[in-house]
Each structure stands twice: as structure tokens, then as C-alpha cells.
Amino acid sequence: MGDNIDVLVHEVGPRDGLQSIKTIFPTQAKLDWIKSEAAAGVPQIQVGSFVRPDLLPQMADTAEVVRQSLEIPDLTVAVLVPNLKGAQNAILSGAHQIGVVMSVSQAHNKSNINRTIAESLEDFRKIIEYRNQVDPERKTVISGGLATSFGCTISGPAPVRDVMWQAEQLLKLGADRLSIADTVGFANPRQVKDLFDELYRTIGKDVPVGAHFHDTRGLGLANAFAALEAGVRELDSCLGGLGGCPYAPGASGNIVTEDLVFMLESGGMKTGIDLDALMETRELMIHHLNGEPTQGTFVTAGPPLGFVAASNAA
């Protein structure tokens, strides 16, 4: 994390946002967006995912997007992968951070990536082994991602003990960090605080932990705040809340980056992000969107009178 940052905002729009909309972004449009958002001060961007191009044509150019993103100064280039094959491609691409995703719900894991949890954990073991082989200095950060950590549309609420067990397994296998995701917008703030409190009791405070929330039922930012209260210092978000929810047409998707940055900066937490520049990036992204819906309230209301961003305060 940067020296002068209290909370790391991890933009996931070029992956999570784009993967759930119809408009195909040309490679150059993705790169314009990524460069502009990095210039606004966003320290980490998930630029794509290594998945089969026939399953997700929007992500077919991920290797090229990574290659060019790696030239952007001071940007941590992150990608997402569902399995060993994707992880191998991601490691070879030179991406700085690789999120390996699996679900806490057995049924969701099966329907999302066609694997049992045991198979996903075995993949994870091989991914760490492969990373250590080709990258003995272990510079590539491998993040263990737990989707549906609060519940899912197939299995209902996720038992906390299942999340703890899986988190411990990932760390035993060599995960450098964890990402806890409310993949389909199940969580409420009390549940979030309780889960992260329990997680830190279980794994200690030394492992970096990120959180990923959706705003499906309007609780996204409240959940992000609850995670902050529990000690989380890395949050995923999506510029313009791009992406929606594949299970609920019209529903909001990921929490909105600009609204999150406003919440953090107005509350005295430095993100290193310039909100004015971020809003220009939003315009640039919308230019390519072909009328796809976006979310967010900061864009309409603007900053309140007297607002001083923590990052700009003396």
C-alpha cells in the first residue's frame, strides 16, 4: 500500500463491470479508461480475467491489456482467474496480483466455475506451486478469493464456519492475501462486521484482507463502512457502479468507486485519489458505454459546500 494512503481502493470495473454488460470494449478503450483512472490516483486496477475467450469474449484481450497496463507508473495491475490454466496464463502475463476465485457455497462454485470446492482448493495448491517454480522470488501476489462469503442465490446464507475453514485452507496452501466477496449482494452491515471480526480472530491481523461488496439491496456502502470498522483497509469498487447483477435485472452492481472515494475522503481517510479527475475518467468510460446504465449519486449531487478531501488536507 502507498505510503500516504489509509485505504486502498481497488477498481474492478474493467473486469467485474465489463464482464456483465453487452457492449464489447475495444482494447484501446479499456486502456484509455485504465490509464485515465490510474492518473486520477487509483492505485490498483483489476484489468481483466484469464478465462476461455469463447465463454467471455469481453475478456479475450486480457493478456494485451495487462501488457500495456504494466507500463503505467505506480499502478498495481490485478487480474482474476477461475482455475489453474487461467492462473498460469496470468502468471506468465506478468500481472502483479492474481485473484483466484472460488465460492464458499458448493453449489455456487459448481455452477460458476464447474468445480467442487475440493477441486478448487487443489487447483489453488497447484497455482502456488507453479508461481513458486516460475517466480522463485514470489513477486506475483496470489490472492485467495472467497465468493458468496455472505450467501448466494442457490444455497442461501453462508455459514461463518465455512468461510473461516476455507480462509484457513487458502492460507495453509500459501495465499499471500484474501479477498472476501459479497458476490450477489446478500450482506448487511452487522453481518459484515461480525464476519470480519471472526476472520481476524481466526487468521490474525497480519494477512492483508480485501472486501468486495455489491449494492444489490442498497447496502453496499454501509457494508463497506462496516468492513472498515472491523479493520479492512482494501475495498473493491466499480467506476459508475458498472455491471449490474446477473441474477437481478436492473439491480445495482458493485459499489460505486466515486461514491466510495467520497465516503472515505470526507471521513478523513486518504485514498490518494483526486475526485475531479476520477469524474473525468467516468465521463470517458461512459463515452464508450453505448447507453448501458451506470449507478452513483456523487455524480448528481457533487461535493457538499466546504468539502475538503482528506488526501488534499494539510
Active site residues: 245
Structural contact between residues 52 and 69, judged by C-beta atoms closer than 8 angstroms: no
Of 30-38, 41-49, 171-179, 249-257, the segment contacting Zn ion by CB under 5 A is 249-257
Residue 254 interacts with Zn ion (CB under 5 A)? yes
Residue number with CB closer to Zn ion (47 or 309): 47
Least distance CB 73 / Zn ion (angstroms): 27
Structural contact between residues 66 and 77, judged by C-beta atoms closer than 8 angstroms: yes
Residue number with CB closer to Zn ion (11 or 265): 11
- Measured CA to CA in angstroms, residue 220 lies from 188, 193, 227, 264 at distances of 8, 13, 11, 14
Residue 281 interacts with Zn ion (CB under 5 A)? no
- Provide the greatest CA pair distance for the chain: 55
Residue number with CB closer to Zn ion (16 or 61): 16
Q: How far is CA 302 from the centre of its chain?
A: 25
Residue number with CB closer to Zn ion (140 or 183): 183
- Which residues in 11-70 contact Zn ion (CB under 5 A)? 16
Least distance CB 22 / Zn ion (angstroms): 17
Strands 76-81 and 97-103: parallel
Distance, in Å, from the CA atom of 256 to the CA atom of 294, rounded to the nearest integer, reads 9
Least distance CB 269 / Zn ion (angstroms): 22
Instruction: Please tell me whether residue 168 adopts helix, strand or coil conformation.
Output: helix
* Cell 447496502 belongs to residue: 219
Least distance CB 204 / Zn ion (angstroms): 26
Residue number with CB closer to Zn ion (16 or 258): 16
Residue number with CB closer to Zn ion (105 or 254): 254
Contact code string over 206-245 relative to Zn ion, x by CB under 5 A: ----------------------------------------
Closest CA to 181 of 230, 144, 140, 155: 144
Closest CA to 74 of 4, 175, 143: 4
Of 43-51, 132-140, 247-255, 262-270, the segment contacting Zn ion by CB under 5 A is 247-255
Of 10-18, 32-40, 199-207, 222-230, the segment contacting Zn ion by CB under 5 A is 10-18
* Cell 506478468 belongs to residue: 94
| Three-class secondary structure assignment of 119-184 | HHHHHHHHHHHHHHHHCCCCCCEEEEEEECCCEECCCEECCHHHHHHHHHHHHHCCCCEEEEECCC
Closest CA to 1 of 101, 69, 97: 97
Least distance CB 214 / Zn ion (angstroms): 6
Residue nearest to Zn ion (CB): 16
Total residues contacting Zn ion by CB under 5 A comes to 2
By the criterion CB under 5 A, which residues form the site for Zn ion?
16, 254
